[in-house]
Chain A
Amino acid sequence: MGAAALIGWPAWAQINEQRNSIEVPGEDGMIVRSLRFLDLETPVDYFDSWLTPVSHFFVRNHMHEPVELNAGDWRLTVGGEVDKTETFSLRELAQLPVHSVVNTLECAGNGRGLYRPQVPGIQWQKGAVSTARFSGPRLADVLHRAGVKSNGKHVMFRGLDEVPGKVPPFIRSIPIEKALDSDTIIATHMNGEPLTKHHGFPARSLVPGWIGAASVKWLTEIKVLEAEFVGNFMSPGYRFPNQPVKPGDSVKPEDTHVLTGLSVKSVISGPLEGSGLKSGRVTVHGAAWAGEADIVKVEISTDGGSTWNAAALRREQSRFAWRLWNYAWTAKRGDYVIQSRATDSQGRVQPSDAGWNPSGYLYNAIDEVKIHVG
């Protein structure tokens, strides 16, 4: 069929020369930000179902996926500031009570490609965000089995990512309070199926409402620490300036803080940018999320932000999940900029300008699409 594996490429990524396309098994129509290592973005028009099918769920890998992963041999160790280091097999994890969380997972760098001036990193546009039902044992149950000592204040996750060259390993930590939250889990399943390799098989941490990097894939070690883990992916990685920054300026590490919860944000999933529509009834639709907060309002403007009208929030909701919304608009002929603006239960409002920062994190400016009604 003309498909050829490429030297040095993942065996599962194939170029179909006749159809000039990239075939990645299990991934359906995804935007390719990178194949090696794998970074796939969800097209915004896929934001039409509350739960994102796994084949449409964005993929963010910092490094190469583990070459060999065998469910039978895999072990998770829990150590550090605990009474007794514990080791769990996948079978032993499965014997703990199962908890499910519908979570909107968003890469901290989602929207990086929209900042000006541009900053280095994967140039995500709007789709490094998806929603799934994650299931597995509570992290708290696993930690209690080992017994957290009173000086244990942070919980570190280490993944099995294959580290190229001298790149620092992918290790992150979260404060003990979030680790013990009843919705923080070690996910083994996603939408009712075992995790696929691209999503962290056989287990990942799942830290709901927080930036995606907190949810470490191919989890192999949990360590209770007295202080935040010190490493590249805690600092300088995944930190945000304490004060607004002039676009293009650099920021000292001591003037930054570690990223935790997601911002308030909405994205228009239709009509799509550049669409030509017929006059009459048009449904503007999309998704809105706010990390640990709830979406209370999504407003739409069709006149460049002079007037705003409430969109209808769709019925499906869960504490850490996005809300889908629609807005019925009677469109007359002309050229329009349609904008969406979300407000959350903490009173945060999606801003007209996202706060530029040197790593391009947490882009959440009011979304807009330009369309023509003829």
Chain B
Amino acid sequence: MSGKTLHILLLMLGAFTMARLSAARNVATPNEELPAGAMQQKATTACLECHEARIIVQQRLSKPAWTKEVDKMVKWGAVVDANDRDALIDYLSTNFNAEQPAYSAPRTATESKPVKGTPQKTAR
């Protein structure tokens, strides 16, 4: 194998590894969290009281669409300080817009044994 061929192979391997790493970053983890940022904690408090982060991280919306969503959720009880509204919309539309790769949803385990009947009690 010539040095040039080896060099090309190494470059290809590097590109392949980078692609794999990049793909890996897009793979959802079972326990989804909101991304780092100045608004991470406030968004967590305001949004995740009622639903999990996965409902947010799967969206790919424009800023006007996020604005509508945030205002709707505030109407529905999300506690967002009026001074934080614009920053929250910026945070969501920066992280979850149409330019981001599609969200890859995980699956439930396949070994779960089907439960007959109904659990009598669940907690949130």
A interface residues (Cβ-Cβ under 8 A, vs B): 6, 8-12, 15-16, 19-37, 40-41, 43, 53-55, 64-65, 67-70, 113, 117-120, 122-123, 162, 164-168, 193-197, 201-202
Segment 102-121 of B: residues with Cβ below 8 Å from A: 102-103, 105-110, 112-121
Extra pairs beyond A22-B107, A26-B114, A197-B118 (10, CB < 8 Å):
A9-B52, A10-B124, A12-B122, A25-B112, A28-B109, A65-B122, A165-B77, A194-B117, A197-B122, A201-B118
Q: Is the CB of B118 within 8 A of A64?
A: no
Q: Which of B52, B62, B65 has the most chain A CB atoms closer than 10 A to its own CB?
A: B52
> Is B98 interfacial (CB 8 A cutoff)?
yes
Q: Which of A30, A41, A202 has the most chain B CB atoms closer than 10 A to its own CB?
A: A30
Docked pose: A164 CA to B46 CA in angstroms: 12
Docked pose: A35 CA to B120 CA in angstroms: 19
Shortest C-beta distance, A178 to chain B (Å), equals 28
Q: Which of A6, A35, A202 has the most chain B CB atoms closer than 10 A to its own CB?
A: A35
Closest residue of A by beta carbon distance from B68: A120
Indicate whether A32 sits within 8 Å of B112 (C-beta atoms), given known contacts A196-B117, A197-B119: no
Shortest C-beta distance, A249 to chain B (Å), equals 12
B interface residues (Cβ-Cβ under 8 A, vs A): 29-31, 48-52, 54-55, 58-62, 65, 68-69, 75-78, 98, 102-103, 105-110, 112-124
Docked pose: A40 CA to B112 CA in angstroms: 14
Closest residue of A by beta carbon distance from B66: A120
Q: Which of A11, A31, A165, A196 has the most chain B CB atoms closer than 10 A to its own CB?
A: A165
Q: Give which listed residue, B30, B54, B65, B76, contacts A120 with CB less than 8 A.
A: B65
Shortest C-beta distance, A57 to chain B (Å), equals 11
Q: Give which listed residue, A34, A164, A202, contacts B77 with CB less than 8 A.
A: A164
Residues of A within 8 A of B52 (CB): 9, 34-36
Question: Can you name 9 A-B pairs with beta carbons within 8 Å?
Answer: A11-B123, A12-B122, A19-B109, A22-B107, A24-B109, A24-B112, A29-B110, A55-B112, A113-B102
Q: Is the CB of B108 within 8 A of A40?
A: yes
Q: Is the CB of A35 within 8 A of B119?
A: no
Residues of B within 8 A of A120 (CB): 59, 61, 65, 68-69
Q: Which 5 residue pairs spanning A and B have beta carbons closest together?
A: A165-B77, A164-B50, A166-B77, A26-B115, A29-B110
Docked pose: A164 CA to B50 CA in angstroms: 6
Docked pose: A195 CA to B118 CA in angstroms: 7
Docked pose: A209 CA to B58 CA in angstroms: 29
Indicate whether A21 sits within 8 Å of B69 (C-beta atoms), given known contacts A64-B124, A120-B59: no
Residues of A within 8 A of B121 (CB): 67-68
Docked pose: A23 CA to B109 CA in angstroms: 5
Docked pose: A26 CA to B119 CA in angstroms: 10
Residues of A within 8 A of B102 (CB): 113
Secondary structure of the B side of the interface? loop
Residues of A within 8 A of B78 (CB): 165
Residues of A within 8 A of B50 (CB): 164-165, 167
Q: Give which listed residue, B30, B58, B59, B77, contacts A20 with CB less than 8 A.
A: B30
Docked pose: A106 CA to B54 CA in angstroms: 22
Closest residue of B by beta carbon distance from A13: B108
Shortest C-beta distance, B22 to chain A (Å), equals 18
Residues of A within 8 A of B60 (CB): 118, 123
Q: Is the CB of B98 within 8 A of A117?
A: yes
Q: Is the CB of A21 within 8 A of B65?
A: no
Docked pose: A25 CA to B116 CA in angstroms: 10
Shortest C-beta distance, B122 to chain A (Å), equals 6
Shortest C-beta distance, A117 to chain B (Å), equals 6
Q: Give which listed residue, B49, B54, B108, contacts A34 with CB less than 8 A.
A: B54
Indicate whether A43 sits within 8 Å of B107 (C-beta atoms), given known contacts A10-B124, A15-B30, A165-B50: yes
Shortest C-beta distance, B41 to chain A (Å), equals 15
Closest residue of B by beta carbon distance from A39: B55
Shortest C-beta distance, A134 to chain B (Å), equals 16
